[in-house]
Every structure is written in structure tokens, then in C-alpha cells.
């Protein structure tokens, strides 16, 4: 491989991996809603366990 081809391949690989590891630092509205749904499901599960004990 020529030097410019190797450089191009490395640049493409880096372009694919950089967005994967640089996630958002703030939670978006969908993530907040998902966490609320998870908490509600856990609370319902705990309440059902207590009701059937």
C-alpha cells in the first residue's frame, strides 16, 4: 500500500471510532423518560411482591 492509502484507511477508521466514544455528557429527554419508566416498573414490581406476600 502506498503511504497516502494507509493514511486514508487510518483516517476512516478513526472517523468511525471517535463518535462511538464521545457520547453526550447530558441526558436527553428520551433518556430521562426511559429512566422514569424503569423506576415506575420497579416500583410496580415491588408493590406486587408486597401484595402477594
pLDDT value for 13: 85
Q: How many CB atoms lie within 10 A of CB 37?
A: 10
Collapsing DSSP to helix, strand or coil, 25 comes out as: coil
If you search the block for the grid coordinates 468511525, which residue do you land on?
16
Q: Is the pLDDT of residue 17 over 90?
A: no
If you search the block for the grid coordinates 483516517, which residue do you land on?
11
Q: Which cell is 49 given?
A: 411482591
Give the pLDDT band of residue 35 (cuts 50, 70, 90): very high
Of 42 and 26, more confident:
42
If you search the block for the grid coordinates 441526558, which residue do you land on?
27
Strands (E), 1-53: none
* Average pLDDT of the segment spanning 11-26: 74
pLDDT value for 34: 92
Least confident of 1-5, 19-23, 42-46: 19-23
Amino acid at each position: 500500500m502506498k503511504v497516502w492509502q494507509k493514511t486514508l484507511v487510518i483516517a476512516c477508521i478513526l472517523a468511525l471510532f471517535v463518535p462511538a466514544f464521545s457520547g453526550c455528557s447530558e441526558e436527553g429527554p428520551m433518556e430521562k423518560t426511559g429512566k422514569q419508566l424503569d423506576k415506575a416498573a420497579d416500583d410496580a414490581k415491588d408493590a406486587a411482591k408486597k401484595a402477594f406476600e
